[in-house]
Amino acid sequence: MKTLNEIALKVKSLNKKVRIAIAVAEDANTIGAISRSTNEGFVHPIMIGSKARIMELLKDFSLNDESFDVIDVSNHEEATREAVRMVKNNEADVLMKGLVGTDKFLREVLSKERGLLPPKAIMSYTCALELPKYHKLLLISDTAVLPAPDLNQKIAMINYSVKMAHNLGIAKPKVALISSTEKVSEAMPNTIDYALISKMAERGQIKDCLIDGPLDIFLACDPKAGDIKGVQSPIAGNADILILPNLETANAFYKGLMLFAGGELAGLIQGTVKPVVVMSRSESENSKYYCIALSCLMAEVR
């Protein structure tokens, strides 16, 4: 798949309805994206929050009364807890954040007693970016969760991103481990991790992908850069996945692409027992729609 719209088209072709529990659903952009997904036939939403406010917002959309459910819980923390409970108990297939704050939302997702993260699992975030000047979707991790990932966390980031790439139809994704240079240096500890990861992949310890690093962005995404720099790499300027060294770098990188390069994204929390959609309350209806489509593609519907 080379565009985000292809994800939505693929999900529609599967002829399955994914049950999405939305925590604190009384948000116009969220309801707009959910209504669009519902009308296109691949979502059954369970909207949890203030029923009066949700029903008021729904007046702007033409939804059949049987195509959605509303659970009236006005308190944000209680609404989030109920949404997480439904997903954990297989009463829903995907969890989505609505108007609730991210800290309250993730607190429930990470709860040892009630949450969705298995013991010893690593939670991360991968987004798929559609960029006008790149010839296919570009997956990036971690843009939202891990501040300074260690070696094991970087490996988890790779495995999660590779799984997403497989669901997008990429049989053997090319993973570029991004730094400011292609040289390994003690002055840049991430490059040492990258060298270890590349060797692990070479020995089959990380499977179903091609990995190289450290690489800079040009070597990862520009086919001409290898010849110019005299660097041979299996990525060859054709990366499917970029692993960034830390959250500050990844977050600034993707937001810069969104603001200055006309990028559009879909992203998901990774590592949880079911897909979790976490987006800023200010994100557009269009972005939320693509995140919903991606979550439906990644969901295992029972």
So what CATH class is 124-260? alpha beta
Q: Could you tell me if 228 and 182 are in contact, meaning their C-beta atoms sit under 8 angstroms apart? A: no
Number of other residues whose CB lies within 10 A of the CB of residue 74: 13
- Which pair of structure tokens corresponds to residue 200? 């692990």
**CATH of the domain spanning 4-120+272-298:** 3.40.50.10950
Question: In 3-state terms, what secondary structure has residue 154?
Answer: helix
Number of other residues whose CB lies within 10 A of the CB of residue 134: 16
CA distances to 21, 57, 92, 182, 280 from 273, rounded to whole Å, are: 14, 31, 12, 36, 22
Give the pTM: 0.93
Q: Domain boundaries in the chain?
A: 4-120+272-298, 124-260
Please list, in sequence order, all residues whose beta carbon lies within 8 angstroms of the beta carbon of residue 131, skipping any fewer than 6 positions away: 138, 257, 261, 262, 263
- Which pair of structure tokens corresponds to residue 94? 């995907």
Gap between the Cα atoms of 230 and 95, Å rounded: 46
CA distances to 32, 288, 296 from 41, rounded to whole Å, are: 14, 16, 11
DSSP string, 173-195: -EEEEE-S-SS-BTTBHHHHHHH
Q: Could you tell me if 26 and 57 are in contact, meaning their C-beta atoms sit under 8 angstroms apart? A: yes
Q: What is the pLDDT along the chain (302 residues), one digit of tens a residue?
A: 899 999 999 999 998 999 999 999 998 888 999 999 999 999 999 999 999 999 999 998 888 878 999 999 999 999 999 999 999 999 999 999 999 988 899 999 999 999 999 999 999 999 999 999 999 999 999 998 999 999 999 999 999 999 999 999 999 999 999 999 999 999 999 999 999 999 999 999 999 999 999 999 999 999 999 888 888 999 999 999 999 999 999 999 999 998 899 999 999 999 999 999 998 766 678 888 999 999 999 997 54
